[in-house]
Amino acid sequence: MLSDMEHRITTLVSKIQLSGISPHKVPETNAHHHIHNWHSETINRMRYARLCITFSYEKPDGFTIKDLVYDLRISDVAVREMVAYSLKQEWLKKNLETNRHKVTAYALEQNFKYTKWHMYKAQKLISELNSLLTAYSQEAYDEKPYFDPTRFKENSK
């Protein structure tokens, strides 16, 4: 059975994850409403947009459709449609020599606006979670610290 602290930690993580997948609808009066709303319409589009942003940092030479299909676990056809639409909207650019895609500066800038909104929304939740995790990691487990970095041993295999 979960302790009160474990239950609260689980609840906070759930709230943070839900806030991350909650649609952030931008009014049509905003010049950039289309990119925000399109990336918020479905869970797959949200995941696609976040993965493209992640790949823009982790894969500086660009990413392939196969990379997206593998990580999103959705059909090749669905990914190709999203990529084609993103290319048309100039949210992605394609290197024809390498067949790799990169996020445009515009898409990065707009995603950072979403990130700031999400940070504002989740800041108190994350702060409380951090405090609880710090306390939880110091609770005794069989009279030993739950986490003791001095006892870490690297796997020799």
The pTM assigned to this predicted structure is: 0.76
**Residue 151 confidence (pLDDT) above 90:** no
9 to 104, 119, 126, 130: CA distances (angstroms): 37, 18, 10, 9
For 126-135, which contacts have Cβ atoms below 8 Å and span 24 or more sequence positions?
126/16, 128/12, 129/9, 129/12, 129/13, 129/16, 132/5, 132/8, 132/9, 132/12, 133/9, 135/5
* Comparison of pLDDT for 24 and 39, the residue scoring more: 39
Average pLDDT of 69-96?
A: 97
- Does domain 5-9+33-141 match CATH 3.40.630.30? no
Mean pLDDT score of the chain: 87
Average pLDDT of 111-122?
A: 87
**Beta strands 92-95 and 144-145, pairing class:** unpaired
- Cα–Cα distance between 104 and 52 in angstroms, integer? 10
- Cα–Cα distance between 68 and 48 in angstroms, integer? 8
> In percent, how much of the chain has pLDDT > 70?
87
Phi, psi for 53 (deg, rounded to 5)? -65, -45
Please list the residues that pair with 95 across neighbouring strands: 100
- How far is residue 62 CA from its own chain's centroid? 18
